[in-house]
Every structure is written in C-alpha cells, then in structure tokens.
Structure 1
Amino acid sequence: MSQPVTHIVGAGLAGLACAVELAAAGRAVMLHEAALQAGGRCRSFHDPLLDRVIDNGNHLLLGANHHALAYLDRIGGRAALESSERVELPFHDLASGEGWVLRPGHGPGWIFDPARRVPGTRWWDYLRPLALPLHGRQARVVDVLAMDSPIGQRLWQPLTIAILNTAPAAASAALLWSVFRRTLLKGPAACRPYFAGAAGLSGAFIDPALAWLRARDVPLHVGHRLRGLTIQAGRVVALDFNDGPVGLGPQDRVVLALPAPVTAELLPGLTVPLDHGAILNAHFRLPVPVPSLPPFIGLVGGVAEWLFRRGDVLSVTVSAADRWMEQPSEALATLLWADIARLLGTPTAPCPPCRIIKERRAGFAATPANAAQRPGARVPGLDNMLLAGDWTDTGLPATIEGAVLSGQRAARLVQT
C-alpha cells in the first residue's frame, strides 16, 4: 500500500516550510506552484537595469524569530544571512540631521541610560507598551501609544509601520504587542538583527530549501495553477489544476499555502482578511559603495523609512505605502533619492540608476477588524485540508516568522 501524500499548493515561504517539516518527518510530499519559480514574495532576482541581484522587498529577521531560524538551520540557509556584531538599531532624523542608536539590554536597566535611548525620551516612556495588551483586541496602537511625543515620532511610529505595515491610527495594538513581547522585552539576543547577505533572500530562504527537498525526492511542479476543488462528503477528492485534475487517495491531505484572496475564491464562505497594505521598495546602484553606512538604518522625517546596504546597492523600504502606488516610478525614485542624498550629505548628487518595486498586496492590513477575519489552520467541514500563510491566525503580523510558523503548524496537524 502506497504512503499517503500531502499536496502543498503554493511554494512560497509558508508552503516550503510545511514541505520541509513534513519531509523531515519522512512524509510523502508534492509541491505545486502556479508561478514558474518558488519563493512568492520572499525571493531574489537579477535586475538588468542595475546588473545586480536584488530582493523583491527588504526583510529583517530578529533573534526572536525562532521558527524562521530553525527552518534556516534545517535547510542550511542561515549562513547566507548577516548580522551586526552589536545588537543595536541605528536611526537618523532627516529633518534635523540627528542620529542615534537604540541599544536594548538585559532586563529593564538599559532604559535608565540616556545613551541607549532615543534622544528626547524619558525612561518611563518605555513602559507604556506594557499597556498594549490591556485595551482589548479592538484597540488601535494610537489608543495606547502617543504618536505626537518624541518617542512616538522617533520610535513607536516607525516600528509600528515596519512591523504591521499599517499606520498607528489604524493598526492593531494586540498584534504590535505580540511582537514587542517577543523582542524588546526579551533582551538583546531576541533583538539581534539578521539581514540578507550577497545571495539575497533567495540564497537564504528559497534556494537551500529547494535543494534540501530535491535531495529527499520531493517533487515541485511549477506553472501548476489550482483552479478548483472537487469536494465530496466533507473531503477534497481532487485538485483541479490548469493541466487537469489530480485525484486524492483516502488518506491524502491538502495544504493550501496561497494568498488570502485566492484561497477565498477556492473556498467560498471561508472568512479571510481581504484588506491589504502596500509596500514600496526602491533599489539604487551607486557608483561606489558607501561602507561608512551601517547595514541597515531607520529613517524618520522623510519619505524613506528603512535603508539597507548591500555592496554598491542601497535599498529603501516604505511601508503602509498605498498613497504612493499610483505615482510614476521616476518621480518616486527622485523623491526617495533626495532622502538618501540628505543622509549621505550629498544633497545635489544626481539620482543613480534605480529599480522601483511596488507590492500592492504586501500583507494583510493589520487592523483590529481585518485581523479578526484570519482563519485558523483547519478548514471547517473539510477533514483533509489545512491552510498556511502569514495571513492565517498565527498570532503574529504578516512577517517571515508568521509565514514559516504557519507552514510548520500545518505540517504538525497533518501528522496528527
């Protein structure tokens, strides 16, 4: 009798994490991907304009992201990440020219040291996030943290937008707390930043996973778009792909690791978060590298929010960027380069070659109402189907950690 097969539909990070977990347990797995390559939003590619490998979007991993780091350790991808020697978050105010470094420490003692805090803040300002979980699941970040204060403008606002891809006036206080309690409240090890090295995100998260799965004979079918499901007696009995149906055996399982809107079309009646937030990314190739810049830096007082340095490429990320999506790429490049040039002290420098990437559906909007629409891993009424994706109810926002956690959770449920 043949071994039951788990069909994972979607080879983004959630689907790959699920496949790796199941293959490690000796389970038979088959991966299906609608695109011609795996990775979803977490991927790298060679850009002909810049003649460099760039990432679809910039991502920062932290030491608290235990599920993502365990996934990388299993597939051998952690070596493709880089980290700074010291645990610190550098910032620069583009309006005032002031720079500072946030240095979380062991225990709460660090908040009493002005040199480790944001300028203009007081030690008791850092206690305010402890109230985030006390206001209920409908509370917004702005209901708890004052955004018009120095710490609000210089820390809570940039962190909220970066973590939740949602403005504080609409963002869920509960979701921000879910990250803060795992990071800032856990000391420097939990806050240690990891970022993609020369091989990009694909070199850490995708290519090693594909090689690991190939070595275990896990097939990946690309260009395999799921168009429908055949359901009988509370079970999925066939997957209807663009090139024909694939029948399921009585013990086979299905994991849908697809975007929320696609999943909603396949499963009418399933409640999913349909509101999404956009992210704007800009990649500039400089004439020469700027090694004096840190590998990443938070920016306030301008349009650019986070800057990442990789060789002679500087990459800018602007989250909650819906307002910029209709602007021409040339205008956006000029606008963002003005912020970088101010940071570099070269305000008259001409804009170098730039690639603009607009992610219109970068992640679900982390509002209280939208977060309440997130489903669990199990699909009501279907015994042999599970869901994975950072938009499912992981307790985390739409992050790499949330995506990996969702895939690993689905894999564990397959085995129960």
Structure 2
Amino acid sequence: MKPREVNPGLLAIFRLFTAIRLVLGLLALVVIEVGLGPLGQTRLPTHWMGLGEAVFTLVYLSLPGLPKKLGKLYLPIALAASTVGPIFSTSLAIDPGTSLELGQARLAMGQWQLVILLLMPLILISWQYGFKAVVFYTLAMAIFDILPAVFLFDQDKVRLYLGISIFIFRTLFYWLIGYAIARLADEQRKQNARLEEANRQLASYASTLEQLTISRERNRLARELHDTLAHTLSGLAVQLEAVEALWEAEPGKSRRMLQDSLGHTRSGLKEARRAIQALRATPLEDLGLNLALEGLARSEAERTGMTLELQLPDVPPKLRPEVEHGLYRIAEEALRNASQHAKASKLVVRMSQKDGKLELLVQDDGRGFDPSQPPPADRFGLRGIQERAAAIGGQIRLDSQLGKGTSITLSLEAEA
C-alpha cells in the first residue's frame, strides 16, 4: 500500500461522520437507559465501548499536531480505531443464549449497522491506497468477523450461515464501492498530473516568450541607438579626423570644422534625448494613431524644410496596441531615413485601407539608392523596418532609384 497525501476535505468529512456517530450513540444510550429499562442493561457495556471508540477517534482526528508527529502512521491508526471498535463491540453484543428468532434479528441488525459504520473507513482506504488495499481490508475484516461467529454459533448453523452470508454480501458490496472510488481517485490524480504538466509547459512557454520579448526589445534599442548616437558619433569621428589632419596646414578651416562638430554634437544630443523620450511612444497613448502620425510627419517636415503631402483616413483603423506601436515605429524610422539620408525636398505620407488591407506609404523625392546593393552590416535602418513589419504580421515593399527618390510601403491585414 503506497500512501498518498491525505486530502484535508476527506479528513473533515471523517471528523463530521465520527461526530454524528457520537451524537447518535449518546441518543441511543438515553433510549437504552430510559426506554428499555432492565432489558437494555445487557447491551450497555458494548454500547459504552462503541462510544469510547467514537470519542477517541474524534479527539484523535481533531488534534492539530498529530499528523506531523505521526507522519504516515496518522491515517492508518484512525482507520484501525474506526474499524476494530465497531466490529469488536458488535461481536460482543452477540448473545448465543437468546432465542433463534431474536438472535437472528439482533445479528442481522448489528451487521447491517456495521455496514454503514465502516463505509467511511472504506472510502478513505479506497481513495488513499487504491483497490488492492480495499481487498486486503475487506478480507481481513471478514476474517475478523467470521472467527467469533464460528466460535459462538458452532451449534447454531442457522445463525452461522446467516452471519456468513451477510459477511459475503458486505465484502462484495465493499469491493464494488471501493473499486468505483479507487477508479475515480486514479482518474482525478491523472487529471491533476496532466494539469501540472500543462502548467509546466505553460511556464516554459512563458519563459521562452519572455526571452523572445527581451531579445526583440534589445533589437529595438539597438535600432534606436543606431539612429541617434551611432549616426552622430560616426559623423563626429570623421570630422575630428579631418580637423586633426588640417589643424596645422589650414587652421581657419579646421576651426570651422570644429565648430560644425560641436553643432553636430548638440544636434546628436538632442536626437538622443528625443529617441529616449520616444521609446515609450507617448504620442500613440496620448493622441491615437492618426494624430500621432500627423504630428510625427509634420515635425520631420518642419525640421528639414521639406514640403509635406499628408493623407490619413478620417476614421483611424482598429488595430491591436502592439500593431499600432509597430506601425508608428516603422513610420518614424522611414521618416527619419528620409530626413537624414535622402536630401529630399518633398515628403509624402499616406495611409489607406481597402479590401481588408491597410497600407502605409512614406515617399520622398531625394537622391535614392540602388536597392539591389545590400547595405553595410552596421546599417540598421531598413533592416529594423523589415524586422518590425514581420513582428506585426506585415510586409515591406521598397522602391528606390538613384536620383528619383525612395518609397517604403507597409502592407498588413486590417482587423475587422
């Protein structure tokens, strides 16, 4: 018998069952003393024995420190007390000297009462130890019952056969009940095991998703740093190298270049602060998608002196927050590329929705480039746009020609 963790709910029911037994036993004691008179005096010793067992079991189950002290022995002791006590008191109540009819009636009544009293131990054994323990328990109980009957009724075959038939019926009935309860307990444990496994898998998935989110956030921060600090520092390094080379030969020109470097430094610092502030995408939270895109496009156009052609739908599309954020970042990256690299005079920003598709177009009339030539490994701008588009389930179409400008189009499924 392999013990399992005791279910606290079953122990509470066990205590309640024992308390009800005790109350009914006390009521029966009153009936014996008052109602039966001298006739009931012969049954008092066995009745007091049953009450003593009920009191012991109830106190035993109510003491809070015993489960920890006794460990695995705690439940078997309670089961033994609640089983041996009723069987022993029922066996002592048998009086072989009574008449045949009265003796049969008392024997049958005592055994059927015993069937009810032993149901709770049977349930606990079935739940905690399984069907094999039920078989062992019922067979031991039957032997413990049959031996006194054989000794007491060796000359009374009728009562002996009656007792044995009741023992056999009780054993078969207990097997049926025990098997059903053991099956239910096994199924519940299997379901609990599957649930625990699903929870472990879910925790593993959550951990993987967290790592993926962290990785994506690192890539996003890398793109933000590239578009601010990396551009400024790389340009500043080139200018300072030129200043060093011309410092003695052309001091006037080198001083002007140094002033330009200081200007670029201040501009880069401003851009870095703007990028840090924009990491939270507060315009989206405060204004919504349409107004955030309009503010972003007008800000870039005014800063660079480009003319702006802006077309946004009257009703903003319904998108999930993460999709809105990704779209806004793509527009921001495309506008920054146009303002920093394109040398353009006109900027077009257009967002439209048709046939379940949402498109965002950012176009300039700048110098363009050859899209067939892969950018250097440290150029994160276009790669960052493509990564963001893939993260929100969109696609990027890039069209550019040398001297004829660049257009970047984001296409994604619009939500219903």
Q: TM-score, length-normalised on structure 1?
A: 0.19
Between the two structures, name the one with larger relative contact order (CA 8 Å, sep ≥ 6).
Answer: 1
Q: TM-score, length-normalised on structure 2?
A: 0.19
Rg comparison, structure with higher value: 2
